[in-house]
Structure 1
Amino acid sequence: MAYIYDAVRTPRGKGKPQGALASMKPDELVASLARSISERGAGPLAPDALMLGAVGQVGAQGGNIALVSKFRAELPDSTAAVSINNFCVSGLTAMGQAHAMVESGQADSVLAGGVEMMSRVPFMADKADFYSDATLPTRSRYLLVALAADRLAEDQNIPREALDEAALRSQQRSAAAESTPLVASRININGLDHEECVRVGTSETLAAMEPAFGAAAEHYRDILGREIDHRHTIAHAPPISDGAGLALIGAEGAIDAAPRARIVACAEVGGDPAESLTASFAAMRKVLERSGLSLSDMDRVEFMEAFAVTIVQFMRDYDVSLDRVNVSGGHMAKGHPLGASGAILLSTLLDTLDAAEGRYGLVVAAGASGAGSAMIVERLG
């Protein structure tokens, strides 16, 4: 069995040069989290590996960011360092890989998580050929996620009003969570002690906002295949942000501390690239099947708000109580530091489970072009 001994996260800073974390390096964020895990009770860290998700692996996040973070955190030379890019599910994928290493006996303990500093490495900064490669089959070509979200909202007949409602709920819950046990595992760093991106609007201000992504459609007209009704505004999209999350995952007794949770099951799924964000649902179904559990068994769920359409579709199509889902707010309010998001969500899940004294928790993440990841944990305590 694999256990989570601790999981911590940074607040999310604005992914702009003036953001509260922008003066730091991504490896400094990871090292700060590693030190926090050590100081919170795990003691000196000597993991067999550091598995780190990051999407933009260039510039400040290039040169094997996991290796650079290993050096910055002063981990032993014997610690292997592996950087992972699985788009926006990278952080959760890294944790799933850590689980597999421990379960298979390849490692006694692994530090795993993700980091993304979009103030230093902007979206699509790697300039991959994939983003513009017209030789691929049309359904497999890269589609800007915002446009995929707009198309999905139209295909699923999800109205603008439902998107506004979800965004407002995310904003309100995020603001209400501050200074509560729901942020117990979030460290204060570089003077930032709150989620910097959160702004709380009203139903009226959200309704007055214009759809934001129609202009980009011209560049993807042949991939979209039709004119679409653009419904997502900036409020329905997660803010560009900086952040990191990290967990210490190990075998029973590998760490001289009591574990917080047991990893019950993990799932990595590839989905229809033309539907982009829907692989999260497939990953969720697979992890529930593997675990022998159902959504009704989950005391808390962290479902990535990869644009408003996904959380609205989840709440509409699945039998789950709103009181158990994203109870401390979500990405639409707090921000989405790409490769870090899955790891941040897992840390958040453990805090919400602790606060509720719940047993089972589920985290679900989605990425562009059909990337999906999910994990179920059992709280111990």
Structure 2
Amino acid sequence: MKKVAIVSAYRSAIGSFGGSLKDIEIADLGAQVLETALASKNIPADSVDEVIFGNVLSAGQGQNIARQIAIRAGIPQTASAYAVNKVCGSGLKSVLLAAQSIMLGDNDVVVAGGIEIMSQAPYLSKTSRFGSKFGHITLEDSMLTDGLTDAFNDYHMGITAENVAERYQVSRAEQDAFTYSSQEKAAKAIAEGRFVDEIVPIRLKNRKGETIFATDEYPRLTPIEKLATLRPSFKKDGTVTAANASGINDGCAVLVLMSDEKANELNIQPLAYIEAYATSGLDPALMGLGPITASQKALQKLNKTVEDIDLFELNEAFAAQSIPVVKQLGIDPAKVNVNGGAIALGHPIGASGSRILVTLIHELIKQEKELGLCSLCIGGGQGISLIVSNAQTS
């Protein structure tokens, strides 16, 4: 099979819920990031065979958001495009699908990414089409129903985090300490400009003209003493709070993949290579543990152990699940989310898989490290993991 290279990796800054990205047209956001991903590496738009985007909250966006982004970014109409929904794993699944199509020779160049504007998730009325004969009409929050509620147990993702915390005896103090560390690392990374190389400044139009959005706006470094005063969000006697859970956010990330032969033909220096990947399933009530088996399977494919991996980007859905994932895999915490994770930076669900991969690749290059692993838990009880190598050290 063909060797797959990642030759470009960019993202937008992550917006807060109701923040800077709340009014941008979603296809415009995706197109701005995609245009930069191509132009920065002099990748001809007409070389792209397919465009794949992870996206979860699709109601009201119009047909096939991946196709909309592709056309708006100048990709020829002859290239195909589709969106994929694997909840929190969507943005990484798009990369795996892109890689598989290149390995099998179906495509030479594929754009993969993820996009989500949770601020624009609409309210739904399932009874309005044929009328309500009597009584109230209820509006359903599509973000809650389609993104944040377990379909099997009919409870919020936060309860699955409480289940994991109870199973592994993860204390509130441990979760708050993990949260403070993530926020501290993110604040330091932003202050030092460690994300600048991976972020595409987004042009935002408003009544006053045009502004630029280029810095993650969700991080908020809160004293650990104040974190301890917050009430549990999902269970009266629980340990999961609004602070030690990931945010509700907006953002986009894009990667360009191609065969190693195509990269040589186009004279493009790869950033990273796809080495191994895996997915897994488990009890939906314990969905936060998904990265454990998925990561173990990916490592086994490569005949590697966690000690062989230099950097990890593990999506921080909740501190309650992140802590046991790190412990059960036996990972050195110093290698995990060195610039902070989703608790600090935010979790635009369909985009997060691509976002953590973009960040991982750039950090591998900065640190001149060889191997990186990224992984996410997935609502409904799944996990997804990918191992990449730094092309500039291989």
TM over 0.5: yes
Q: How high is the sequence identity, in percent, across the aligned residues?
A: 29
Equivalent residue for 1:189, pick from 198, 202, 217: 202
Q: 206-215 or 259-268, which moves further after superposition?
A: 206-215
Whether the aligned pair in 2 keeps the contact of 1:349 and 1:363 (CA below 8 Å) is yes
1:204 is paired with a residue whose SS is helix
How far 1:316 moved relative to its partner? 2.5
Equivalent residue for 2:225, pick from 170, 192, 204: 204
Superposed CA RMSD in Å reads: 1.9
Equivalent residue for 2:243, pick from 235, 248, 252: 235
1:63 is paired with a residue whose SS is coil
2:374 is paired with a residue whose SS is strand
Q: Tell me the distance in 2 between the aligned counterparts of 1:56 and 1:98.
A: 21
Counterpart mapping for 1:241-256 below 5 A: 241-255=249-263, 256=266
Whether the aligned pair in 1 keeps the contact of 2:150 and 2:157 (CA below 8 Å) is no
How far 1:31 moved relative to its partner? 0.7
How far 1:165 moved relative to its partner? 0.6
* Corresponding residue pairs, total: 359
1:162 is paired with a residue whose SS is helix
Q: Tell me the distance in 2 between the aligned counterparts of 1:100 and 1:2.
A: 9
Alpha-carbon distance change, 211 to 132 in structure 1, aligned in 2, over 3 angstroms: closer
Whether the aligned pair in 2 keeps the contact of 1:93 and 1:268 (CA below 8 Å) is no
TM-score of the two chains, using structure 2 as the length reference? 0.87
For each residue in 1:127-175, what CA deviation from the matched residue of structure 2 results, as whole angstroms up to 9, or x when unmatched? 56x9697xxxxxx434311111012101110111100011000100001
Q: Tell me the distance in 2 between the aligned counterparts of 1:20 and 1:68.
A: 22
- 1:277 alignment counterpart: 288
TM-score of the two chains, using structure 1 as the length reference? 0.90
Whether the aligned pair in 2 keeps the contact of 1:301 and 1:349 (CA below 8 Å) is yes
Tell me whether 1:301 sits opposite 2:309 in the alignment.
Answer: no
2:218 is paired with a residue whose SS is coil
For each residue in 1:17-58, what CA deviation from the matched residue of structure 2 results, as whole angstroms up to 9, or x when unmatched? xx1112211211211111111221133223111111001111
- 2:189 alignment counterpart: 177
Whether the aligned pair in 1 keeps the contact of 2:289 and 2:325 (CA below 8 Å) is no
Counterpart mapping for 1:56-67 below 5 A: 56-60=57-61, 62-67=62-67
Task: Return the letter of the residue paired with 1:240.
Answer: I
Counterpart mapping for 1:1-381 below 5 A: 1-16=3-18, 19-45=19-45, 46-60=47-61, 62-121=62-121, 124-125=142-143, 140-178=152-190, 179-190=192-203, 191-214=212-235, 229-255=237-263, 256=266, 257-381=268-392
Task: Return the letter of the residue paired with 1:55.
Answer: V
Q: Which runs of 5+ in 1 are unaligned?
A: 134-139, 216-228
Q: Tell me the distance in 2 between the aligned counterparts of 1:312 and 1:132.
A: 21
Whether the aligned pair in 1 keeps the contact of 2:88 and 2:378 (CA below 8 Å) is yes
Q: Tell me the distance in 1 between the aligned counterparts of 2:217 and 2:285.
A: 33
2:298 is paired with a residue whose SS is helix
Alpha-carbon distance change, 154 to 116 in structure 1, aligned in 2, over 3 angstroms: same
Whether the aligned pair in 2 keeps the contact of 1:33 and 1:245 (CA below 8 Å) is yes
Whether the aligned pair in 1 keeps the contact of 2:163 and 2:285 (CA below 8 Å) is no
